[in-house]
Amino acid sequence: MAITSLSFATPLRRLPAPRRLDYGLLEAAMAHAEAGATGDAVAGVLGHLFPDAPVPDLTAGPFAFVQGSSRVTVALDGDALAVTVPLVTLAGARNPVAALRYILTTVAGSGQLYQPRLRGDDITLEFRDKLSRMHPAKLLEVLRQMPVEADRVDDWLETEFGARPLERAPITPLDDAEAAAADALWRSHWADVEELVKESQRRRSVFFLNEVTALALFRVQFALPVCGVLAAQLTESAGTWNDGQQDPTKREASLARCARDMAALPAATLRANLGHAAYALAPLAPGEAATLTSYFGGGDYLSAIDKYRTSGRSFEATLALWSSTTYLLARYAWPPETAAALMGALAAASGKPWREASAVLWDKLRAVAELFGADAADGVGPDDDDDDDDDDGDDDDRRAEDDR
């Protein structure tokens, strides 16, 4: 059945509030490191990264925190600082050789300060270096990347190879009502995607395809607390269909296959891969006013949408505004009033015919940019959507923005 309107439902994912980090602490930590006071530098980095908690005293004992399913321990060990994240044990694994190969291929590597290490049957991500060499930049990199990497692969190792998790942090499962709503949202989403792929094949427009693939990925990431191996599978699949460098036909075929597979997922499997995780480190970059302005305050992208909107191609215009808004909600932590305004725009357009929806979204999103965006004096430029504060460290799922 052809898709005739956008639909919006309140997200089941708990939207993270933006966490403002104290960069003064970080600068002071840099100064401490330059002066050789690396213990104070480490304390400064921890104070910067965890603003809501007292600065841990590592001389009194290890400091542990939870990031998604990862449990990270930071400890002094003699003259060294060690950061560890237990991953899995291979004892009893169905296919330990494949698990080991997977770890060597996708987790170990050059250009990273931590590596997977095998002790007995246990795989742990480890970083260890002398405290005297602990520059804040090094520690920041380790603390931001290691838990994300562990969170990325632990469920895969468990599901694909039968490895058992080690000390994994619990994820709060959805209650029955949430699970039912999530199931309905999931199936409705992939049914929409299947129809949108057919439209894309009919229209043969890369612009349209880019918007469909972005929506396919970011609507799930925005609305549902997907975790477990399903999150990894979705990201892996999106690596093909949301990659603007790939052949459009291949992207469409890949997305169509993914949509069919996802729609056929048993309810129990979906539920097992949904849950509310805790994040000690901000999982998303804070939404900036300039980002809103770059999307809805003007510029080439908005001009392109306006051309569609004013030339009888409301479907394309609505789809672009829908996917962009969803992307912003999925990838950034916004102040509550900004998030509410963005979601309000989608809710107002939900269920309306394309032409009406595009007018509603256009007006409301322009108003959001005016109200919460950067002043004209701040300039309007292309959006750099993964700045240094993006703690999830995952660059693979950026939307295909080549046509922008």
- Interface positions with other proteins (CB under 8 A): 33, 36, 96-97, 100-101, 103-105, 108-113, 115-119, 123, 126, 128-130, 132-133, 135, 137-138, 141
**What 3-state class would DSSP assign to 226?**
strand
Q: Which is nearer to other proteins, 10 or 110 (CB)?
A: 110
124 near 370, Cβ under 8 Å?
A: no
Q: Which is nearer to other proteins, 124 or 200 (CB)?
A: 124
Q: Which is nearer to other proteins, 90 or 341 (CB)?
A: 90
Q: Which is nearer to other proteins, 35 or 268 (CB)?
A: 35
We find the least distance from the C-beta atom of residue 401 to other proteins, in angstroms, to be 22
We find the least distance from the C-beta atom of residue 26 to other proteins, in angstroms, to be 14
- Cα angle 186, 368, 359 (rounded to 5 degrees) comes to 70
CA distance 360 to 354: 10
Residues 6+ apart with CB under 8 A from 299: 380, 381, 382
Residues 6+ apart with CB under 8 A from 185: 9, 12, 223, 224
We find the least distance from the C-beta atom of residue 38 to other proteins, in angstroms, to be 9
We find the least distance from the C-beta atom of residue 282 to other proteins, in angstroms, to be 21
We find the least distance from the C-beta atom of residue 106 to other proteins, in angstroms, to be 9
We find the least distance from the C-beta atom of residue 381 to other proteins, in angstroms, to be 22
Q: Which is nearer to other proteins, 117 or 366 (CB)?
A: 117
Which amino acid, one-letter code, is at 182? A
- Residue 55: is it exposed, middle or buried by C-beta count within 10 angstroms (0-12/13-18/19+)? middle
CA distance 20 to 321: 28
CA distance 30 to 23: 11
DSSP letters for 3-59: --S------SS-PPPP----HHHHHHHHHHHHTT-HHHHHHHHHHHH-TTSPPP-GG
- Cα angle 398, 179, 254 (rounded to 5 degrees) comes to 35
Q: Which is nearer to other proteins, 42 or 328 (CB)?
A: 42
Q: Which tokens sit at 321?
A: 């505004």
What are φ and ψ of residue 279, in 5° steps?
-130, 110
**What 3-state class would DSSP assign to 71?**
strand
DSSP code at position 279: B
State which H helix or E strand residue 55 sits in. Answer: none
We find the least distance from the C-beta atom of residue 108 to other proteins, in angstroms, to be 4
Strand-pair partners of 65: 72
We find the least distance from the C-beta atom of residue 109 to other proteins, in angstroms, to be 5
**What 3-state class would DSSP assign to 128?**
strand
Residues 6+ apart with CB under 8 A from 177: none
We find the least distance from the C-beta atom of residue 36 to other proteins, in angstroms, to be 7
